[in-house]
Amino acid sequence: MDINVPQQVVNAIGLGSVYSLFALGYALVFSVLGVLNLAHSAVFMWGAFIGLITVTELDQPLWVSLPVAMVVTGVFGIILERIAFAPLRRRGAPRISQLISSIGASIFLVSLAQLVFGSQPQRFPIGLIPTDPIPGLPFRVTPIQVVILVVALLLMALLQFLVMRTRLGQRMRAVAFNQRTASLLGINVSSIYLLTFFMAGALAGAAGVLYGLAFSSITPFIGEPIALKGLTVIVLGGLGNIQGALIGGFVVAGLEVFSIAAGGSNYRDAIVFSLLFLILLVRPQGLIGQRDQSRA
């Protein structure tokens, strides 16, 4: 079979930018708290819906939907931390309890979305998103695909800058390294947690809006498949590693796209998840991950 390589690369990059952005929030919470937030995919789904209703119900221009969704899902993140994580942490509950608590939060958020939005897929109105490709290129790429990539890369760069180059990021890393020591050094740990959850929520919301724009099919269940892909991405990139999540997103998307392109559409998910299994087995710190101690 002839594989249209340039076009498939475009497809992989489009998918990869959403995966990476989604996985960043996952990685951020993991790096600071050492806990997987499995409600992340539900926040992502809410982001897609909030982006949609900003446009369809509130009659705002398309670009407004991104910041609106990010702020709202950021607040979702804060509520999540306050209700599902903080009480458990205060009681010194083991990390597995926080993980299970986040599963509960996820089920609640999905059910709530079903109640509010129904389970029929909803779409951005036809004609709102230009579908004509950019002319003069050897492959088909629509303006919105370019916007998605640029927004995703910008947000990733912003996050990287925030964590690595600012005082705030320094405090976050200190908390990630050792919560007790950080608090002894005068860092307000609980506000750092809130901030982390806000940022992770906002990233999930942004990924949700971009996903809604890219694929234009929004249901309360869109989080489920991407949650598993996101998990693969952060394991691949080294749990809690920000650059790792970024690169991992594109690797997983590329693998998915080219396994289909090579005629293996039946085995697509088998290939991706075999990789997850293999990495956990052979290189648990991830392909580009560091040892646990130097995390964050």
Partner 1 sequence: MNKLFLRVLSAMLVLVLVVPGSLLAQDEMAQMGDDIVEACPAPQNLPDTVTIGALFTLSGGASVFGQVQQLGVELAVEEINAAEYLGQGRVLEVIFEDSASDNTQAINAMVKLVEEDRVTAVLGPTLSREAFSADPVAQDAGTPVMGVSNTATGITDMGEFVFRNSLPESAVIPGTVAQAAEILGINSAAIIYANDDDFTVSGFDVFEQTFADLGIEVVGVETYATGDVDFNTQLTNIISANPDLIAISALAVEAVQIILQAQSLGYEGALMGGNGLNSPAVLEQTGDASEGLIVGAAWNVAADNPLSVAFIDAYEAANDLLPDQFAAQAYTGAWLMATAIRCADSVDGAAVRDALAGITDFDTPLGLFSFDEDRNPVHDPVAQVNRGGAFAVLTAEMMDDEG
State the residues that interact with partner 1 by CB under 8 A: 1-4, 7-8, 11-12, 14-15, 121, 123, 126-127, 131, 133, 140, 142, 214-217, 221-222, 224-225, 256-257, 260-261, 263, 265-266, 269
By beta-carbon proximity to partner 1, the closer residue of 7 and 97 is 7
Write out the DSSP string of 126-184.
TTTS--SPPTTSSS---HHHHHHHHHHHHHHHHHHHHHHHSHHHHHHHHHHH-HHHHHH
CB of 14 to partner 1, least distance (A): 7
- 56 within 8 A of 245, measured Cβ to Cβ: no
Nearer to partner 1, 31 or 232 (CB): 232
CA atoms within 13 A on the CB side of 38: 17
As measured in angstroms, the least distance from the Cβ of 126 to partner 1 is 4
Greatest alpha-carbon span in the chain: 63
Question: Residue 174 or residue 222: which is nearer to partner 1 going by CB?
Answer: 222
C-alpha to C-alpha distance for 287 and 269, rounded to whole angstroms: 19
- In the complex, the smallest distance separating the C-beta of residue 110 from partner 1, rounded to whole angstroms, is 14
Cα four-point dihedral sign 67, 68, 73, 77: positive
CB of 7 to partner 1, least distance (A): 5
Q: How far is the CB of 74 from partner 1 (least distance, A)?
A: 25
Could you tell me which of 16, 20, 30, 182 has the C-alpha nearest to residue 98?
A: 30
Q: How far is the CB of 244 from partner 1 (least distance, A)?
A: 23
Q: For residues 82 and 123, which CB has a smaller minimum distance to partner 1 in the complex? A: 123
Residue whose CB is less far from partner 1, 31 or 145? 145
Is the dihedral angle over the CA atoms 110, 111, 117, 118 positive or is it negative? positive
The H or E element containing residue 205 is helix 189-215
Closer CB to partner 1, 3 or 107, in the complex: 3
Q: CB 105 → partner 1: shortest distance, Å?
A: 22
Q: Least distance to partner 1 from the beta carbon of 117, Å?
A: 15
Nearer to partner 1 by Cβ, of 11 and 101: the residue is 11
Specify the amino acid at residue 134: I
The conformation of residue 1, written as its DSSP 8-state character, comes to -
Helix then strand count (H, E) for the chain reads 12, 0
Nearest to 22, CA basis, from 228, 165, 273: 228
Comparing CB distances to partner 1, the nearer of 3 and 157 is 3
